[in-house]
Chain A
Amino acid sequence: MTLLAADPTPAVAPRTPPRVAELQARINGMQSSAPPSRTIPTRADLALLLPGGLREGAIYQVRGSTSLAMVALAEASAAGRWSAWVGWPQLNAVALTAAGIRLDRTAIVPNPGTHWLGILAGLADAMSVLVVRPPRAARLSPGETARLAARLRERGCTVLVDGEWPGAEAELQLEAHVWHGLGDGHGVLLDRQLRVRVRDRSGRVRRGPVGVAAPLGQTLRAVPTAPLEQSAQLTAVDAVEWAVSA
């Protein structure tokens, strides 16, 4: 009996050990969470403007900027998803890489011509993100758009359209560029920010800045120098050194 008397167990013992409580909390957390949000990986600054990020199987209008489209799919591409650019004969591979897009997972259809809708439907089976610039004269009947939208929803393929698209999930519009690094006769474009306006289906408008990554590094040291005058030259070099140190 002495043993019992010496029992160090406190009078109010926790009913469940902490490990069990932790596991229970995790189960509760998993049960209570909303159905899995079906979004593709989206950059944090863009996800602020599009709550939750870009949704799978939805159509977005991206207007006024190629860079904005690159930023929108960058995270998904970096995560290893396939994307295709339909109708872009003038893309720059360096800019794609700088935005964080994997070139080996990015297919380009430079000139889809009159087949563009069929190509879009075919690529939707395999690609995670499509970036489309419809031909100028493209006219779509409501039936065609509805069929395509249904197919995209079914396949979970996100489409970014540079142009008009009825019934788009949201419209991303470039309002202004904010440039850094270029002066009056000196400097070089070193960094930029996009001021983006997003209007969703319900008409709510959000505004915010979105950064575009620029490759800083050894390439900056190779600034060609032959500006107008000596002072300008110095400023250009200063700007570059600032960028390298930054």
Chain B
Amino acid sequence: MNRALAVWVPDWPVVAAAAELALDPTAPLALIHKGLVFACSGAARSAGVTRGLSQREAQYRCPSITVARYDESTDARRFEPCVRALEAIVPGVHIVRPGLLAVRARGPVRYFGSEPLAAAAVRDSVLACGVPDVRVGVADGVFTAEHAARASTRTAPILSVPSAETAGFLADLPVALVSPDERTGTLLRRLGVHTLGEFAALPLEDVRRRFGAAGVWAREQAAGRDPSRLVPRELPPEFAVQFESDTPLERSDEIAFAMRSYADRFDAQLRAKRLVCTAVRIELTDEHGSEVSRVWLHPRWFHAADLVDRVRWQLDGLFRAAQQSGADPRLEVAEYQRAGIVRVRLIPERVDATAHHESGLWGGGPDERVHHALARVQSLLGPEGVGTLERRGGRSPAEQQVFVPWGDAPPPDSRLQQPWPGAIPGVPPATVFPTAEPVRLAAADGSEIRIDERGHLSGVPAELQLHASHAPRSVQSWAGPWPLQERWWVSDAAPARVRCQLIDGSGDAWLVVGDEQGWCVEARYD
């Protein structure tokens, strides 16, 4: 029969997150996903925290708990060394999910001599990566092996279920483990089927009629006849390119120049496999060992020259940030320049088949020309130099848009469909000042217009002075004040403000916003 060996790391998400955030995995720790506890450490569990609890409830049950956001990519990335460690002794490793691996038992058993010896060898190899606890289960099929690993204890971390006992071992487990979705699980419980044993005892034809193919699959699993096959992962080829310099390099153009041949190699390697890179991670390491990494996206794919550009931009940003930080800029720059860059790594984050990006027989059409033109502007002005505007939800005109640099993904959550009470309807202003400019708004008698705590104006606006050096403009017509209350639930939020629309004597229209400090012009209808 198809014996499988499952390697399970208990509470893997917690172990990974603790390593990522440098937390103590033995302290109470909970990972939150969509507001609910996704995983928690042993200490938290003994305080009564369980999976599926709301964050607040978990904090109530265990006040000393540390809460972190669950991050799927951390989970997978941190698991990679364990996979490699296992692959070093056993080929054909199947990653069920981060934290759970499966291999076909036949090969290791024959090599190591027996099931317990093979399991112990596998366990030792994964333990060597610094994981606190590893459990191994050996049984018929991946499903049974996984639950055998879960049924093992800290003192007896290896559990082997003989083929004859498979059905008996599974019989007492809850039926929810095999139900294809939550609805089926609930339905089965309502029908009085609580355990896998009871489910497996149902006639096959009845299960097929009631639950279809997915139900038959689940029943086979429940009976210990795991229909799923082991799919060993294919080793990802190594495309990352690393540039190392013996002397720390301190200037971005120096590094960019040195990177050129490495970028060419990176490009050539991918092309040899008929792949193109659409997202790249660039890691910069300075001589003190601190590392800065960033992912760059490309609207099409990276050529070697694009890669060199991205390296240069990242370095420029790094040097600028170093200059701006610190009280004494000169010292900081000198300090930073001594910390030159010694290593640059290019890692493809996302690759795609060349066939998807092949240009047509008559060229790639106008959009490719557009891309080349904009990319050239970007290489002159930097990544923020050119982009597109995206609309998003907001109350003030400046909030209603966001500038997306060319090649970046637009921010996912635009909240455009939400109502935004307080947004000004009607004609949108053509010019929006990124930072509101202070102006003077006065009544007919020349006194500045004030706003009381109820949002009423102290007079009728009659004069608008845009700048101290400008002559005041007379106000022809106006409307308002429209109150704008935002973030009143935050204690240090801006005080309530009001907005007015004005048309001045020359026919120009303005949107002004006022608070206790005075008035600012937010936008112009020009």
Contact = CB atoms under 8 A, between A and B. Distances in A.
Interface string B451-486: 000011100100000000000000001111111100
Interface in A222-237: 222-228, 236
Interface centre among A64, A96, A243 (most CB of B within 10 A): A96
Interface in A85-135: 89-98, 103-104, 106-113, 115, 118-119, 122-123, 125-127
B390 A92 contact: no
A166 interface: no
B388 A107 contact: yes
Interface in B417-475: 419-434, 455-457, 460
Nearest to B525: A189
B370 interface: yes
Given A90-B431, A119-B380, A123-B373, A188 B390 contact: no
Interface string B250-294: 000000000000000000000000000000000000000000000
B387 interface: yes
Interface stretch (B170-178, B322-330, B501-509): B501-509
Contact of B427 (A82, A93, A118, A191): A191
A95 B456 contact: no
A184 B444 CA distance: 14
Nearest to B455: A226
Contact of B389 (A64, A108, A187): A108
A126 B369 contact: yes
Contacts of B509: 177, 179, 182, 189
B426 A92 contact: no
A80 B425 CA distance: 28
Which of A109, A112, A123, A176 has most chain B Cβ within 10 Å?
Answer: A109
A43 interface: no
A176 B391 contact: no
Contacts of A223: 425
Contacts of A90: 431-434
A55 interface: no
Given A107-B386, A224-B483, A115 B380 contact: yes
Contacts of A188: 424-426, 479, 501
B397 interface: yes
B426 A183 contact: no
Contacts of A107: 370, 374, 386-388, 406
A39 interface: no
B483 A92 contact: no
Nearest to A176: B507
B523 interface: yes
Contacts of A191: 426-427
Contact of A92 (B369, B430, B456, B498): B430
Given A107-B374, A126-B372, A91 B432 contact: yes
Contacts of A183: 477, 479
A186 B488 CA distance: 26
B377 interface: yes
Contact of B373 (A104, A108, A125, A212): A125
Given A90-B432, A182-B501, A109 B425 contact: no
A52 interface: no
B501 A222 contact: no
Contacts of B526: 64-67
Contacts of B403: 108, 110
B430 A93 contact: no
B368 to A, nearest CB: 9
B508 to A, nearest CB: 7
Contacts, number: 184
Tell me if B's interface is mostly helix, strand, loop or mixed: mixed
A97 B370 contact: no
A33 B321 CA distance: 62
A93 B401 contact: yes
A240 interface: yes
Interface in B480-526: 480-484, 498, 501, 503, 507-509, 523, 525-526
B386 A109 contact: yes
A214 B370 contact: no
Instruction: Find the residue from A108, A177, A184, A224 having the highest chain B CB count within 10 A.
Output: A224
Given A115-B380, A189-B509, A126 B479 contact: no
Nearest to B406: A107
Contacts of A179: 477, 503, 507, 509
A112 B382 CA distance: 11
B411 interface: no
Residue in A94, A107, A190, A192 whose Cβ sees the most chain B Cβ within 10 Å? A94
A185 B507 contact: no
A222 B385 contact: no
A209 interface: no
Interface in B146-205: none
A50 interface: no
Contacts of A210: none
A215 B386 CA distance: 27
B391 A219 contact: no
Contacts of B477: 179, 182-184, 187
A160 interface: no
Nearest to A97: B391
Interface-centre pick from A98, A176, A222, A236 (highest chain B CB count, 10 A): A222
Contacts of A122: 373, 376-377
A90 to B, nearest CB: 5
The 3 closest A-B pairs by CB, nearest first: A93-B401, A126-B373, A66-B430
Interface of B: 366, 369-370, 372-374, 376-377, 380-381, 385-391, 397, 400-401, 403, 406, 419-434, 455-457, 460, 477-484, 498, 501, 503, 507-509, 523, 525-526
30 contacts: A67-B430, A67-B525, A82-B366, A91-B430, A91-B431, A91-B432, A92-B430, A93-B391, A95-B429, A107-B387, A109-B385, A111-B381, A115-B380, A119-B380, A119-B381, A123-B373, A125-B369, A126-B373, A177-B525, A181-B427, A188-B425, A188-B426, A188-B479, A191-B426, A192-B427, A222-B421, A222-B423, A223-B425, A226-B455, A226-B481
Given A179-B477, A236-B479, 17 more contacts: A66-B431, A82-B366, A90-B434, A93-B400, A93-B401, A94-B397, A107-B370, A122-B377, A123-B374, A126-B372, A176-B507, A185-B460, A185-B479, A188-B501, A191-B426, A192-B525, A214-B426
